[in-house]
Amino acid sequence: MSAPDPPTGSPTGSPTGSPTGSPRPRRTGRRWGRRTTLRTRIALLSVGIAVLTSIVGGVISVNLLQRASEQTARGSLAAIADEAQATAATGVNAEVGQSRARRALQSLNIQIAVVRTPATGSPTLVGDTLARRALTPEQVTSLLAGNSYSLRLQRGGNTLLVEARPTGAGGIVLAQRRGDAVALGSQALSQLTWSLVVTGLVAVVLALLVAWRLSLPLRRTAAAASALARGDRDIAVPETGPREVADVAGSVNRLASALKHSEARQREFLLSVSHDLRTPLTAITGYAESLADGVIPPDRLAMVGTVIGDEAKRLERLVADLLDLARLDAAEMSMHPVPLDLAALVDSAGEVWQRRCAAEGVTFATQVHGRPVPVVGDPQRLRQAVDGLLENALRVTPQGSPVLLAVGLGAGPDTGMAVLQVRDGGPGLTDSDLPVAFDRSVLYERYRGMRQVGTGLGLAIVHRIIERLGGRVEAGHAPEGGASFTIRLPLEPEPPAPRPTHGHTKS
């Protein structure tokens, strides 16, 4: 027969496996409860160090003080015993000596006993109780034989300090309770304890103040970071406190400034793009409404269709530029580098741009030095970059002025590099334009309305492509009077020369 099923709610049937059947709290990645603050941790650590230091220092100090007090007391008692021994050696009557010694030592709670040697029988100790019980009969006999004693004994639950000295008439024994001997040290010990307590309290207060002072700049920085997350960019964190904390505050300030600058550039970029989109959209919308209303005469329909097509192509080019730039920024644009001859690519591009420039009345020329220029790159992306530079040059170059496309091997500082240049005879760039020539929409905003401009994205796309291919592109002044754009790419490394092989003859 099979066993019956366990009842519901039993330990076996509990889904959680707990004895009571109640669900267990599930742990998450974070600790239960709120995390302690840095100020609390610094305060607890400082207080712990202060208290531990006080305790360790107190224990060591108390131990040393007790030992020092006891050694001092034993030394004093031994000196008194030596003095009593010397007094007895001068021949003073034993009773008189005992009486004087008892009165002299009574204030110090030191008890005294002397050894009496009767004519018959064993010697005995006569005097105060503790002193009489301090020595054993064997020790008394040894004392009479001329041996001295310095003892620390346990008698009746008390710790005794005992000094025994032989005399001419027998011997003298001094005994003192340890508590009486170190009474002065106990007072000092009590004062030391109170001083340690006060020191510990002062250390705790100082630890709390230091923790508050150290955490204050971090709290300010955290508040500034929260303000940045809420969108506030006009913040400035005081760069105070330790160097590391001040560095964090400075980093937050620089981050706020960079975010403010970046967002301002993004707003300008969006405004310029929206303006570029609005212009062709307005033209297309206006002509479309005119066509719908039938106000366009038949003889102008072809012209209207051409305008609408041109504006649509302009929109398409702008959207394509935006997509290319977004992909390059996100490192999503695919690159397929292969070995290629940059001189052959320039020849191929020159055939196309020769006709385009001739149609605009612009003189076009290529300079290829007749030698291969081997590089490793993506042919389509390189052609896209060259076309972008040539289109930018053709746009601003007036009729009769030149546009030049040149390629060759670098020399001097450019040794080991392939150098491609696009130069024009247009209005050119100023010195202040050169550092920002490849920033999106910067030149577009500067020269809009003054000369022919594109979408403001072409040079930025060229810069991203060349950068992704491991090269660099720079803007400068051309000897033809206009702008010069120079692309530098590493040459393809030459393959290693094959090792010579030695032939052999088969027999």
Cα-based distances in Å from 334 to 324, 345, 438, 466, 490: 11, 20, 21, 13, 20
Q: Transcribe 29-58 into DSSP letters.
A: SSPSSPPPPHHHHHHHHHHHHHHHHHHHHH
DSSP label of 423:
E
How is residue 451 annotated by DSSP?
B
- Residue 389 within any structural domain of the chain: yes
Give the residue among 250, 262, 258, 257 at the shortest CA–CA distance from 221.
250
Angle between helices 243-293 and 301-329 (to 10 degrees): 160
- Picking from 327, 348, 376, the residue at the C-terminal end of a domain is 327
Helices (H), 376-438: 379-396
- Per-residue model confidence (pLDDT) at position 375: 94
Residue 86 lies in a domain: yes
Residue 405's closest CA among 368, 431, 356?
368
Residues 56 and 197 in one domain: yes
Per-residue pLDDT in tens (0 to 9) along the chain, 507 residues: 444 444 444 444 444 444 444 444 444 444 444 666 666 777 777 777 777 877 777 777 777 766 776 677 677 777 777 766 666 655 545 455 556 556 666 656 777 888 877 766 678 777 777 777 788 888 888 888 888 888 888 877 778 888 888 877 778 888 888 777 666 556 666 777 777 778 778 877 887 787 777 777 878 888 888 888 888 878 888 887 778 778 888 888 888 888 888 787 677 667 656 656 776 788 788 888 888 888 888 888 888 888 888 778 778 877 877 776 676 665 556 778 899 999 999 998 888 888 889 989 999 999 998 789 999 998 888 988 898 899 889 988 999 999 999 999 988 888 889 999 999 999 999 999 899 888 877 887 788 777 777 666 788 888 988 998 999 999 999 999 999 999 999 998 876 655 555 544 443
Q: What CATH number does the domain containing 482 carry?
A: 3.30.565.10
Residue where a domain terminates, one of 298, 327, 356: 327
Look at residues 181, 148, 158, 163 and name the one whose alpha carbon lies nearest to residue 69.
181
pTM, two decimal places: 0.45
Return the closest-CA partner of residue 285 out of 315, 301, 306, 308. Answer: 308
Same domain for 402 and 445, yes or no, is: yes
Do residues 108 and 165 both lie within one domain? yes
On whether both 90 and 140 belong to a single domain, the answer is: yes
| 408: its two tokens | 């060759």
Q: Number of folded domains in the chain?
A: 3
Residues 144 and 65 in one domain: yes
Give the domain CATH number at 53: 3.30.450.20
Please check whether residue 248 lies inside any domain of the structure. no
Residue 278 maps to a domain: yes
What pLDDT is stored for residue 479 in this prediction?
92
User: Do 470 and 373 share a domain, yes or no?
Assistant: yes
My answer on whether 305 and 338 are in the same domain is no
Domain hosting residue 290, numbered range: 257-327
- pLDDT, residue 60, reads 79
**Which of 232, 266, 281 is the C-terminal boundary of a domain?**
232
Q: Are residues 304 and 430 in the same domain?
A: no
Looking at the fold, whether 47 and 178 belong to one and the same domain comes out as: yes
Token reading at 308: 């609408």
Q: Is the residue at 500 inside a domain?
A: no
Which residues 6+ apart lie within 8 Å of 102 measured at CB?
112, 127, 128
Indicate whether 292 belongs to any domain.
Answer: yes
Q: Specify if 22 maps to a domain.
A: no
Q: Is residue 443 one of the residues assigned to a domain?
A: yes
345 in the same domain as 293: no
Q: Are 82 and 164 in contact (CB under 8 A)?
A: no
- What is the C-alpha separation between 109 and 27, in angstroms, rounded? 69
Q: For 475, phi and psi rounded to 5 degrees?
A: -105, 145
- Indicate which CATH number applies to the domain containing 269: 1.10.287.130
CB proximity list for 261: less than 8 A, separation 6 or greater: none
Are 482 and 352 in the same domain? Answer: yes
- Measured CA to CA, the distance from residue 485 to residue 393 in angstroms comes to 10
Residues 201 and 309 in one domain: no
